[in-house]
Structure 1
Amino acid sequence: MERIIGEIREDLDRRLAVAAERLADRSPAEDPACAVYVALLGRASLRERVHHLLRQDVDGLLRTARGLPPELGEARADGELRARQGLPLDSLLRVHRLCGRLLWQVLTEAVAAHDRAALPRLLPGAPALWDVVDRMADATAEAYRRAAAVRGDRERELRGALLDSLFDGGGPEGASAESARRLGLPERGRFAVVVLDSGDGARAAPAGGAPRVLWRIRADGETGLVELGGLPLASVTELLEPLGLRAGVSPVVETPGELAGARRLALLALRAAPGAGGPHTALLDERLPAALVAAEPELAARLREVVLGPVLALAPEDRGVLLTTLGTWLTCRGSTTFAAERLYCHRNTVSNRLRRLEALTGRSLADPAHVVELALAHTAVTQRPAPSTPPPAGPPSPASRTSRTPGGTARRSPRPRA
């Protein structure tokens, strides 16, 4: 093989240059892989690369004939370069295979033109040629994948930093708009933020679909920037609910500069999402009272103590019965009948429990102001469950004493209505 190539080397080099021109000039319909190469890097770059690959393959073939391995340094360097340039690996490997075929064709043509009788001597070199082509392609692919992995890590880090700048806010003027631009987001649009419960992190956030969501893993939960476009905010719920993720969703905002505030509201919505009864996606605007309680933990603790302190001081079983009955009655919009159906008990049982709760708290379920207090206090309890054992006995809470009217007479709470 080395002797044959030596005899035709000058003619072979000329033919390789012509073959490189011919391959680079192929139309997109003839070879889509080459068309991608041309579209990204230009026809001149493809022509130069093909010519260089053909000569590398010839040199590899000559080294193999001498018992030496082909030189792979340039193949690795090319793989790294094309990965940085964003050329698809399939197109790169397709060019390698095309060059292998083209080289064999040119070799046979050159040998036939020099001495047709020498063609049989060329045949044993076919396996060696394809071994060189495969080794060149493998070295290129390995280097490409390593470089692509590094590039991917850097792009993920950059995207994470850009998302953090939007979620955290602050920074110099115009920083949010610049971060949004680099993430491919419009200056104005319809955006929202969704925060997943940290306990759901192992399940991974959904990818793809509509609306578009850019996810970022943070210490306080996985956070997503939602580009709604023309979709309603409810589309976020439709995206998450089938996956069983507990999540909080902010209201819609119009500019990237509002996303930091939206994230804070999404965190509040997550804290306001009901924990019992399985996973739930909470839109902030649908959970505003609960979010209000979640936003002020100190006041929420005081609300629990002042309004429901006597109930929380009961034995766990009694406490659970009264709190469950109150929560069900509130869910049923004050209907004792519907609450009894949900609790699988008689209507009179529900009424008796509610009267006991009124006596303990000094608040009437017939008074809208008192109902608001009880509802918010109940929310505060569900957001932070009461301890499993009652606190030590102490002085009676003012709320546990019988409520008095201005005239000094005891106030009798009316029976809750169905």
Structure 2
Amino acid sequence: MERIIEEIREDLDRRIAAAADRLADRTLAEDAAYAALIGRAELRERLHRQLRQALEGLVRTGRGLPVELSDARATGALRAGQGVPLASVLRGYRQGGRLLWETLTETVAAHDRAALPRLLPGAPLLWEVLDRTAEAAAEAYRGAEAVRGEREREVRAALLDGLLEGRDGGEGPSVPEAAARLGLPERGRFAVVVLAAGPGPGGAGASGAPRVLWRLRADGETGLVELGHHPLESLRELLAPLGVRAGVSPVVTAPAELARARRLAALALRTAPASGGPRTALLDERLPQALVAGEPELAGRLRQVVLGPVLALPEEDRRVLLTTLGTWLACRGSTTYAAQRLYCHRNTVANRLRRLEQLTGRSLADPAQVVEVALAHAAVVQRAGEEEDAYRPKPLRDLPRPGGPTR
């Protein structure tokens, strides 16, 4: 077979060049990806080289030599970088193989039709060469795509960091440029979610849910949420499957506000319950707790000045009074509802509250002093964390509408 090819080499080279022209035109007509991404001259040159390499591979295989695959690898990496789908690349190899065999048989027939049977053993060898070259191209394509994907992830992470940290200008893109490259609109409804350290956010992002761009950080996950028409409260359902504590910022309307939103989400996370009940804290629903969490030094002073005498009590007395206070606050000042929650008589609740008033020197009938006591209680809960989570007021659904406390 090698001898036949050498005898028709000059004519075969001319026909292969013409075949490359036809294959380039056919590819551009039938494959939208090539038509959109590759110029005809570049495509024709690459196809011509591909056909010649396949022919040389056939000759080398007949000699028992390995097929040269460097050109196929270069083609695979090139097409990955250009964004041509792998299916299109492999289709090109199949079409090129068929066209090369047709060209080879036509050239042999034109030279000596009687020599055609001597060419037949070369058919399986040619397809073996084509399989190897296509496989090498696909392997290089996937490798280049993996590298490109990693680079894109790094770029995306840097863009997210710029938005979430408020970096604008300098050596990196501006906030509007970063937002545009991440596919975010100039104006919209955005929020930021900060998760405590725990499982990754793989459970979030169900169909129909808001779009979330996640960023892994050393202390947990941060998510930039494009809410669209979704209410902010829908993030509770989105985050619930993750099983971790989460803080959610208020809604902001422009990418330039996302850095502030991230700081507020981190503050909201510090108020999220450590155990029991919903673990997602929306900042606007926990402003007193966030106020305390945001000023730890003042919070410590508030605990000591307002509730110091209570904190100095023996552990059981302290727990009873602080739990009663937390429950009474959660019940909007109703001793009746607090008693139901605490499984005791309302007079017991009233007696405990009077003792609190005596110890603190604050009147729970004075709204200003109730605010002070409530903030001090939030500071105690903030410090106690999971160990004394019973102090934490819990949301209750079966309470009367606001209209003044029921003592």
In which range does the TM-score fall when normalised by the shorter chain?
0.7 to 0.9
375 and 132 in structure 1: CA distance in 2 versus 1, 3 angstrom threshold: same
- Deviations along 1:214-248, one digit per CA (max 9) or x if unpaired, are 22222343212222334433343342234334222
Q: What is the Cα-based RMSD across aligned positions, in Å?
A: 2.9
The one-letter code sitting in structure 1 at the alignment partner of 2:7 is: E
The structural deviation recorded for 1:298 is 0.7
**Which of 198, 213, 217 lines up with 1:200 in the alignment?**
198
Name the counterpart of 2:292.
293
Counterpart of 1:264 in 2: which secondary structure?
helix
Name the counterpart of 1:126.
123
TM-score by length of 1: 0.82
Name the counterpart of 2:402.
none
- 1:88 is aligned to 2:74: no
Instruction: Give, in whole Å, the separation in 1 of the partners of 2:22 and 2:342.
Output: 82
The one-letter code sitting in structure 2 at the alignment partner of 1:109 is: E
Name the counterpart of 1:20.
20
Counterpart of 1:223 in 2: which secondary structure?
strand
Alignment of 1:204-243 (within 5 A): 204=202, 206-207=204-205, 209=207, 210-243=209-242
Counterpart of 1:233 in 2: which secondary structure?
coil
- Deviations along 1:99-141, one digit per CA (max 9) or x if unpaired, are 2233233333333444444333333222222221122122222
- Deviations along 1:333-365, one digit per CA (max 9) or x if unpaired, are 222332333334444443343333333323333
Counterpart of 1:26 in 2: which secondary structure?
helix
Name the counterpart of 1:398.
none
The structural deviation recorded for 1:64 is 0.9
- 1:310 is aligned to 2:314: no
Instruction: Give, in whole Å, the separation in 1 of the partners of 2:84 and 2:347.
Output: 75
Counterpart of 2:273 in 1: which secondary structure?
coil
Alignment of 1:379-418 (within 5 A): 379-385=378-384, 417-418=406-407
The structural deviation recorded for 1:376 is 1.3
Residues 274 and 386 in structure 2, CA contact (< 8 A), matched pair in contact too: no
The one-letter code sitting in structure 2 at the alignment partner of 1:9 is: R
The one-letter code sitting in structure 1 at the alignment partner of 2:54 is: D
Instruction: Give, in whole Å, the separation in 1 of the partners of 2:51 and 2:206.
Output: 41
Counterpart of 2:362 in 1: which secondary structure?
coil
The structural deviation recorded for 1:203 is 4.9
Q: Equivalent pairs: percent with the same residue?
A: 71
Instruction: Give, in whole Å, the separation in 1 of the partners of 2:161 and 2:188.
Output: 19
Name the counterpart of 1:374.
373
120 and 378 in structure 1: CA distance in 2 versus 1, 3 angstrom threshold: farther
- Structure 2: gaps spanning 5 or more residues: 389-404
Instruction: Give, in whole Å, the separation in 1 of the partners of 2:387 and 2:206.
Output: 43
**Which of 50, 57, 79 lines up with 1:60 in the alignment?**
57
TM-score by length of 2: 0.84
The structural deviation recorded for 1:61 is 0.7
Name the counterpart of 2:318.
319
- 1:104 is aligned to 2:101: yes
The structural deviation recorded for 1:279 is 5.1
The structural deviation recorded for 1:167 is 1.8
Instruction: Give, in whole Å, the separation in 2 of the partners of 1:288 and 1:178.
Output: 33
Name the counterpart of 2:7.
7
- Deviations along 1:263-309, one digit per CA (max 9) or x if unpaired, are 11111111122223155222222221111111111111111112222
The one-letter code sitting in structure 1 at the alignment partner of 2:223 is: G
Name the counterpart of 2:342.
343
Instruction: Give, in whole Å, the separation in 1 of the partners of 2:42 and 2:32.
Output: 12
The structural deviation recorded for 1:59 is 0.9
Residues 199 and 242 in structure 2, CA contact (< 8 A), matched pair in contact too: no
The structural deviation recorded for 1:327 is 1.8
Instruction: Give, in whole Å, the separation in 1 of the partners of 2:83 and 2:27.
Output: 21
The structural deviation recorded for 1:177 is 2.3
Counterpart of 1:25 in 2: which secondary structure?
helix
How many residues are matched? 388
Name the counterpart of 2:393.
none
Counterpart of 1:87 in 2: which secondary structure?
coil
Name the counterpart of 1:175.
174
Name the counterpart of 2:72.
75
The one-letter code sitting in structure 1 at the alignment partner of 2:17 is: A
Instruction: Give, in whole Å, the separation in 2 of the partners of 1:381 and 1:275.
Output: 14
Instruction: Give, in whole Å, the separation in 2 of the partners of 1:172 and 1:191.
Output: 21
Query: Which 10-residue stretch deviates more, 105-114 or 46-55?
Result: 105-114
